[in-house]
Amino acid sequence: MKKILIASTSTVHGSGYLEYLLNVLEVHFKKADTILFIPYARPGGISHHDYTKTVRIAFSKINKTIKGIHEFDSPIEAIKSSQAIFTGGGNTFELLNQLYKYNLISVLKSTIESGTPYLGTSAGSNICGLSIGTSNDMPITYPPSFVALGIVPFNINPHYLDPDHKSTHMGETRETRIKEFHKFNSQAVIGLREGSFLSIDGTKILLKGPLKARIFKKNKQPYEIDSGTDLSHLN
């Protein structure tokens, strides 16, 4: 049975790395002593080693051991033998590029769907959707495909920001970009605000956290959903 957390962010304003989620993660990873960390997204170009060190410090607060996937001779075997998996944020294009490079897409998807507990934040959440076409990131590398894991039957836009009608900034809003996406793509998109996450237990997909989320569907007006809403049938 699937056990998945898909979080908009790793850090909310005024708190440390993963701090706002630690109580949830303690329950989510209760059966795992060691968590496999996938650092491929490399926020700010940080090394895999340094990124893993940051994650190791955070998870030590709930007595979990972290092993970076780059520390293994075989990334495929690392995933297959993992007790739990965490994919961190950073650049979604680079993350997906590395997953394709090491032929990890199918094994990661099957391992998650077989019940290995998974946490994704930001880029690590983006890859849970059907594609990474609604990422906020710059395409600094070129994965062979935008097709992602398809753990959920829709796309995800983490760090969703509402338009600021008082701002003088004339650039595109997130809502505008998602409307552009729907000119060429049909799947639904969920805008996850900071501090929000999706909790998947078996076939049920629930919105969790203190805020509402925004749902976008092709040729329809966007609408808000409350925390606690079941999104199992969103597509």
Among residues 10, 82, 125, 137, the one annotated as catalytic is: 137
Amino acid letter for position 124: G
Is residue 10 part of the annotated active site? The answer reads no
Report DSSP state, residue 45.
Answer: G
Partners of 66 in the beta sheet? Answer: 35
Is residue 145 part of the annotated active site? The answer reads no
Is residue 199 part of the annotated active site? The answer reads no
153 to each of 6, 23, 129, 189, how far by Cα in Å? Answer: 13, 27, 7, 9
Among residues 122, 125, 135, 196, the one annotated as catalytic is: 122
Instruction: Supply 179's token pair.
Output: 């409307």
Q: Which of 201, 228, 231 is nearest to 216 (CA)?
A: 231
**97 in Cβ contact with 105 (< 8 Å):** no
CA–CA separation, 11 and 21 (whole Å): 9
Among residues 48, 70, 159, 227, the one annotated as catalytic is: 159
CA–CA separation, 154 and 189 (whole Å): 6
152 to each of 31, 108, 126, 195, how far by Cα in Å? Answer: 24, 14, 10, 19
Query: For residues 36, 41, 45 and 49, what is the CA-based torsion angle, rounded to 10 degrees?
Result: 10
List residues with catalytic annotation: 122, 137, 159
